[in-house]
Amino acid sequence: MQPSAPRILIIGQGLAGTALAWRLWERRVPFVIVDRDEPLTSSKVAAGLITPITGMRLTVSWRYATFYREALRFYRACGKRLGQRFFFPRGYVRLLKDDKEIAKWEKRRRDPDMQPFLHRQPPPLNAGVIHQPDHGFQQRHAAWLDTTAYLEASRRFFESLNAWTAADVQPADVSDDADGITWSDQRFSHVIWAQGWRGARHPLFDWVPFQSALGTILTVRADLQGEKRILNRGCWLLPRGDGTLRAGSTYEWTFNDPNTPSAAPVQGLEATLRTLLRVPAEVLATQTAVRPIIKNRQALMGTHPTHPHVAFLNGLGSKGSLRAPWLARHLVEHLLEGAALDPELDLQQNQI
Ligand SMILES: Cc1cc2nc3c(=O)[nH]c(=O)nc-3n(C[C@H](O)[C@H](O)[C@H](O)COP(=O)(O)OP(=O)(O)OC[C@H]3O[C@@H](n4cnc5c(N)ncnc54)[C@H](O)[C@@H]3O)c2cc1C
């Protein structure tokens, strides 16, 4: 019953599972990836923004340079293999919302770790399109990933290898013994659960402190008169080059249904969008899904403390596009070569 060589079962084809599958494919390690095939998931809904300076605190995102370098290489290589482009470097203009934020930025902008990410002389924004376009800064090394195109093209490729299956895999369907894993009469060396927010319900990982958040993105029609940069003041706005843009996103910490938002946060997002845009904006659609967040952690990965063939990668939060390529490589090196896991990301060292 022992698998003669590594063969990995991946549960979930979101950004985490897809990057894991590619990392195994690069090493010629056989895998099967199984997904529930839901129409709306975090990875399918995500805007795919990759941004160095984020949040209210205006700081450089955790290990940004390392993750960005790896993401750039990874998505370009996937695009080449699949004959399709889905990774787009873009300028990102952060507009400051009030005097307090302007004062904070005056201090922050001198930090040495900011310097590689600041555009020195960005072209001005069109005041006919954007309200109050003057106080802000443009970031370099930002990008967006067309997650839908990347996930679909990857799926077609994995299907062509007979390595993709649609199924809702329950924890009880997967058994482990001293030598490996059995699922659906097949043997594997490991299973990696990369289920996103649904991972909170897995009995082997129910001690992981998930604190996932529902998020909504609007699809909007507006004429930005050729502006291609990503803009942000209170909400972000991603022009897609076809007369539509995406705007987001909300955070709801309690929810009943993973694809149904509450009215108030969506109305708040629409109102913020109208404080940013001077031109008419028509909301065409809303999309909602749940970001998998683990409390006070950037992500967690590794094997279960007492089930060494059962592994986990989850908690990519709102940075899945940026971090999945690095995280997936790190976990694969751990499982296949015994490389030590980064202590901040190691599931076993972060047990609550
Ligand atoms: C509104 C919104 C905006 C976002 N914006 C951005 C952004 O701009 N930039 C960015 O980087 N990130 C963004 N994110 C976050 C990003 O989407 C997540 O970090 C990422 O999607 C997490 O990927 P994942 O693979 O861990 O989880 P998921 O995308 O949830 O994937 C898990 C997959 O596993 C499947 N699955 C679950 N249980 C089972 C089972 N039992 N059997 C089989 N399959 C199963 C699910 O169907 C799903 O396909 C956003 C998220 C939301 C919701």
Condensed to tens digits (0 to 9), the pLDDT of residues 135-144 reads 999 999 999 9
Residue with CA nearest ligand 1 atom 41: 169
Q: Is the CB of 313 under 6 A from ligand 1?
A: no
Residue nearest to atom 1 of ligand 1 (CA): 215
Q: Which helix (H) or strand (E) holds 50?
A: strand 49-50
Pair 76, 87: CB distance under 8 Å: yes
Q: Which residues contact 263 (CB under 8 A, 6 or more apart)?
A: none
User: For ligand 1, is residue 323 a contact (CB within 6 Å)?
Assistant: no
Q: Which of 208, 255, 291 to mutate to test the pocket of ligand 1 (most atoms within 8 A of CB)?
A: 291
Ramachandran angles phi, psi of 212, nearest 5°:
-75, 155
342 lines ligand 1 (CB under 6 A): no
Q: Is 261 in the pocket of ligand 1 (CB under 6 A)?
A: no
Is any atom of ligand 1 closer than 6 Å to the C-beta of 315?
no
Per-residue confidence (pLDDT) for residue 241, from 0 to 100:
85
What's the confidence (pLDDT) of residue 4? 61
Q: What is the pLDDT of residues 157-200, one digit of tens each?
A: 999 999 999 999 999 999 999 999 999 999 999 999 999 999 99
For ligand 1, atom 25, the nearest C-alpha belongs to 14
CB of 41 sitting under 6 A from ligand 1: yes
Atom of ligand 1 nearest to the CA of 12: 34
Locate the ligand 1 atom nearest the alpha carbon of residue 38 and give its number: 47
For residues 109-134, b (16+ Cβ closer than 10 Å) or e, as one string?
A: eeeeebeebebeeeeebeeebbeebe
Edge-to-edge strand ranges of the sheet holding 230-232 = 136-139, 92-95, 230-232, 236-239, 244-248, 213-221, 282-291
| In the chain, ranges of CATH 3.50.50.60 domains | 8-45+148-208+296-350
The topology under which CATH files domain 89-143+213-291 is D-Amino Acid Oxidase; Chain A, domain 2 (3.30.9)
Q: What is the CATH number of domain 8-45+148-208+296-350?
A: 3.50.50.60
Is the distance from the beta carbon of residue 130 to the nearest atom of ligand 1 less than 6 Å?
A: no
Local mean pLDDT, 10-residue blocks, the chain (352 residues)? 79 98 98 98 98 93 97 98 96 95 94 95 95 94 98 98 98 97 98 98 96 98 96 96 94 96 97 96 97 97 97 98 98 98 96 76
pTM: 0.97
Quick check: CB of 16 below 6 Å from ligand 1? yes
Secondary structure of residue 55 in the 3-state scheme: coil
